[in-house]
Amino acid sequence: MRPSAKFILVISKPMNIQLDSIRADITRAVREALAEDIGDGDITAMLIPGDQINTAEIITREDCTLCGQAWLEETFAQLGGLDSIEWHAQDGDQVTAGSKLVTLRGNARRLLTGERTALNFIQLLSGTATKAHQFAQLLPNSNIKILDTRKTIPGLRTAQKYAITCGGCHNHRIGLYDMFLIKENHIAACGGITAAVEKAREIAPDKRVEVEVETREELLEAIAARADVVMLDNFDADSLQYAMNLDKHNTQYELSGNLDLENLKTIASLNIDFCSFGALTKHVSAVDLSLRVHS
């Protein structure tokens, strides 16, 4: 089913997702998170007088790349708002263990009701941004762009892709609607790479066309068909060198499959335009954060 138009980002080439373009999605994600947590009411918060005001701080217990400010702010806005939210670091900043991230002041019930939802978003998104930063640091002077994939947590696609950009990496397609990615099953169903690319140009001539190839023969056909990008999937060293020696015209190369932090440095010298890593969003550990309430 096609996503609601207000969430669709139409892109002609890899780009970094912009926060302002996903405001509606942030609102939706926070609303759903609060609904599943609060249900018909936070009964523990009822222990606190309704008019009590407190200050709270969120600190990080480990080094990380901060991400998730808009999700925290939206959480407390939907609960009725706070008196003040003072950030001590910004999305994309590198913060050290023990650092104070934000100071909150307002109604004590709201602070505690929104605590877990706010922390869940910041922990996950900071974890995603931190992993992206680790990858980006390995190729600081390279022209290769490190891309994410669609292997994201359901319902948090745009949130995680925003976090990727905070960590210094880049977004691949946002969903199934903004570019063609022709894989093995598409090729089989269409009757070949050439036929698939030609059909894609007919359907949406303004959209990028990428073809995933697994053999040298498929690579040659994809280049001949004038694909915008060819994804070299699990190419061994010999096949990679073969690809580097080809006249690929204006086709760009994306490397994918069996890539990790250990072997990323080894491809820095290759004539590759992009490397994509599912691990950026699916192998993420939440950052250890803590919210502390004061009088």
Q: Is 86 known to be catalytic?
A: no
Domain extent for 18 = 11-136+284-294
Domain membership flag for residue 152: no
What's residue 107's pLDDT? Answer: 98
Same domain membership, residue 256 and residue 190: yes
Q: Are residues 115 and 200 in the same domain?
A: no
* Count of C-beta atoms within a 10 Å radius of residue 231: 25
| CATH assignment at residue 235 | 3.20.20.70
Q: Is the pLDDT of residue 55 over 60?
A: yes
Of 74, 91, 212, 221, the catalytic one is 212
Give a yes or no: residue 167 inside a domain: no
Element (H, E) at 90: none
- Work out the pLDDT band at 2, boundaries 50, 70, 90: very low
What mean pLDDT is predicted for residues 59-72? Answer: 98
Four-residue CA torsion sign, 141, 208, 151, 259: negative
28, 105, 183, 226: the active-site residue: 183
Residue 260: what pLDDT?
Answer: 67
Please, are residues 67 and 92 in contact by the beta-carbon 8 Å criterion? yes
pLDDT of 7: 35
The verdict on residue 144 lying in a domain is no
**pLDDT grade, residue 113 (50/70/90)?**
very high
User: Are residues 113 and 185 located together in one domain of the fold?
Assistant: no
pLDDT of residue 3: 38
Residue 143 has pLDDT above 90, yes or no: no
Rounded to whole angstroms, the Cα distance separating 62 from 46 reads 32
Report helix, strand or coil for 177.
coil
Structure confidence at residue 257 as a pLDDT band (50, 70, 90) = confident
Give the model's pLDDT for residue 270: 82
Q: Is 151 a catalytic residue?
A: yes
- Active-site residue (options: 28, 100, 105, 151): 151
Claim to verify: residue 238 and residue 290 sit in the same structural domain: no
Concerning whether 116 is annotated as a catalytic residue, the answer is yes
Specify whether 261 is located in the same domain as 216.
yes
Q: What pLDDT does residue 268 have? A: 76
Give domain status of residue 173, yes or no. Answer: no
Judged by average pLDDT, the poorest of 25-39, 107-121, 251-265 is 251-265
**Do 288 and 257 lie in a common domain?**
no
Structural domain contains residue 238: yes
Lowest mean pLDDT among 152-166, 213-227, 259-273: 259-273
Summarize the confidence of residues 177-204 as an average pLDDT.
Answer: 96
Separation of alpha carbons 228 and 26, rounded Å: 32
Do 27 and 62 lie in a common domain?
A: yes
* Active-site residue (options: 116, 216, 226, 248): 116
Residues 129, 189 within the same domain: no
The CATH number assigned to the domain holding 51 equals: 3.90.1170.20
Domain assignment of residue 206, yes or no: yes
Whether 131 and 213 share a structural domain: no
Decide if 282 is catalytic.
no
Average pLDDT, the chain: 91
In-domain check, residue 145: no
Q: DSSP assignment of 6-69, as one string?
A: GG----SS-BPPPGGGGHHHHHHHHHHHHHHHHTT--TTGGGS-TT-EEEEEEEESS-EE---H
Q: Are residues 191 and 271 in the same domain?
A: yes
Mean pLDDT of 211-217: 96
pLDDT for 92 equals 97
Q: Give 8-20 pLDDT, tens digit per residue.
A: 333 334 558 989 9
Q: Please pick, among 178, 218, 221, 233, the residue that the annotation labels catalytic.
A: 233
Residue 33 lies in a domain: yes
Same domain, 289 and 265: no
Contact 43, 71 (CB under 8 A): no
pLDDT, one tens digit per residue, over 86-111 is 999 999 999 999 999 999 999 999 99
Of all residues in the chain, what percent carry a pLDDT higher than 90?
Answer: 81
Say if residues 161 and 128 touch (Cβ distance below 8 Å): no
Total structural domains within the chain = 2
Q: What is the pLDDT of residue 15?
A: 59
Q: Does residue 126 sit in the same domain as residue 242?
A: no
H helices, E strands: number in the chain = 10, 12
